[in-house]
Amino acid sequence: MDLPPEQAFIVRNLYLSALLPAATVALLYLLGRLRRWVVAVYAYSFLICAAGWEIWYTYGLVGGLPVDARRAPAISEAIPQNLNWVLTSGFDAGVCLLGVLLIWMIHGFKDTAFKRWTWPAVAVLLVLFVGQNIYVEYMIHDQVKPGLPLSWAPLIPTGPWFNFVLFEINERAITFQTQLPWVLMVPVFLWLVRWCRGRYVT
């Protein structure tokens, strides 16, 4: 089935943004250029995002619509529902890995960056996590716009029952519910990185 340009862009970029980080992590690890704790951060980030909201969003498990009921049939054909949460969680894990890199950069590429957390690190993660999600919500607005309820999830404790429009960009709504998991992900991710560094030291 042929996709309109905007839908084709969404499909293509989801596959690329999910698979490219996974391939990069695997390759660098096999070449001995990536530490085990970084790989662990990537893997656990995937699991946390999947269990934290992506699986719930995909299947509409509690009070929400499944993804296939919220998007064009052509997109569902290109991204089957059972694959959707895998790709979206892979994308999320890639964003988290970028967070590791940015924290390392702002601390001068020193390992001490991960021994304790500073407010600049928190701010960078918050801007990264929420900023990229605003862009995603803008691009897939037809799937998450008001009137199409999204499921409750562990990292979205307010569910679809407490949701409101934060602001609009070109008449596309950016809502509280879709941003909440990434705000809560900041302290979760900070804890995860320190835990992984302590357990997977090499």
Give tens-digit pLDDT for 146-157.
889 999 999 999
Helix then strand then coil, in percent of the chain rounded to 5, is: 70, 5, 25
Chain segment 11-70, per-residue pLDDT in tens: 999 999 999 999 999 999 999 999 999 999 999 999 999 999 999 999 999 999 999 999
Backbone angles phi, psi at 100, to 5 degrees: -60, -45
73: nearest Cα among 11, 151, 149: 11
- Return the structure tokens found at 9: 């862009």
Contact indicator for 182, 99 with CB cutoff of 8 Å: no
- Return the structure tokens found at 157: 């404790």
Contact indicator for 79, 11 with CB cutoff of 8 Å: yes
- Predicted local distance difference test score (pLDDT) of residue 55: 97
Contact indicator for 89, 44 with CB cutoff of 8 Å: no
CA distance 104 to 109: 5
- 58 versus 120: the higher-pLDDT residue is 58
Question: What is the Cα 16 distance to its own chain's centre?
Answer: 14
- Predicted local distance difference test score (pLDDT) of residue 1: 59
Q: What pTM, to 2 d.p., does this model score?
A: 0.94
% of residues, the chain, pLDDT over 70: 99
CA distance 59 to 64: 8
Band the pLDDT of 182: cuts 50, 70, 90.
very high
Q: Where are the domains of the chain?
A: 5-199
User: Is pLDDT of 180 > 90?
Assistant: yes
Chain segment 89-105, per-residue pLDDT in tens: 999 999 999 999 999 88
- Predicted local distance difference test score (pLDDT) of residue 112: 74
